[in-house]
Chain A
Amino acid sequence: DGGITQSPKYLFRKEGQNVTLSCEQNLNHDAMYWYRQDPGQGLRLIYYSQIVNDFQKGDIAEGYSVSREKKESFPLTVTSAQKNPTAFYLCASSKQTTGGRTGELFFGEGSRLTVL
């Protein structure tokens, strides 16, 4: 079955540590995205990539980094510079980088990061 796989599902981090969240898709989608969700709130865009080896900052990129070396993979690193990293992180992909129904996002199951 095609889809998006995020790992790990739960992650605990000590202050000062970098952690990397994995996101892999086998949908052959061009665009991939990382969102952050805080309790009771909507999704905020961290980074997005519309093509391999290229990515753009979203609204809350500070303290995060990404790479897009392969079409299928878009890992997110939460660095020690992120002051409040405890949140639910969602990875998504879309078929097209332009408009229309093909802009529908397909999501992974999410990764819940807790800083101890």
Chain B
Amino acid sequence: AQKITQTQPGMFVQEKEAVTLDCTYDTSDQSYGLFWYKQPSSGEMIFLIYQGSYDEQNATEGRYSLNFQKARKSANLVISASQLGDSAMYFCAMRDRVGGFKTIFGAGTRLFVKA
């Protein structure tokens, strides 16, 4: 069955340092997509980064990169040079054919950036 696991309910990071948010997934499909979304306290969901299962290189989008380890079924988000505005909830999500191309989400990690 499809499943997304985020084991870190909360994380602290010092401003300007890098932080890694963990995500593991489970699917029987060979073709799938992994997404990370950010949810500030205002509630809206913001797309950050995408990784396809057949992509050979790790995805990067500005200060965000995705550490994709297919054999371990992990898709960790790395935020470099943290900023105060990065304080938010972060959700890992997956979408695959087996699941009918609907997106499922992990429980999320709340990131606190300290000045």
Contact = CB atoms under 8 A, between A and B. Distances in A.
Binding between chains A and B: yes
Interface of A: 31, 33, 35, 40-45, 48, 50, 56, 58, 88, 90, 92, 94, 97-101, 103-110, 112
Interface residues of B, number: 30
Contacts of B100: 56
Interface string B73-115: 0000000000000000001010111001111111110100000
Given A99-B101, A103-B95, A103-B101, A109 B108 contact: no
12 contacts: A33-B102, A44-B105, A58-B102, A99-B33, A99-B101, A100-B52, A101-B52, A103-B35, A104-B47, A107-B44, A108-B44, A109-B44
B31 interface: yes
B64 interface: no
A112 B42 CA distance: 12
Interface in B1-58: 4, 6, 9, 31-33, 35, 37, 42-45, 47, 50, 52
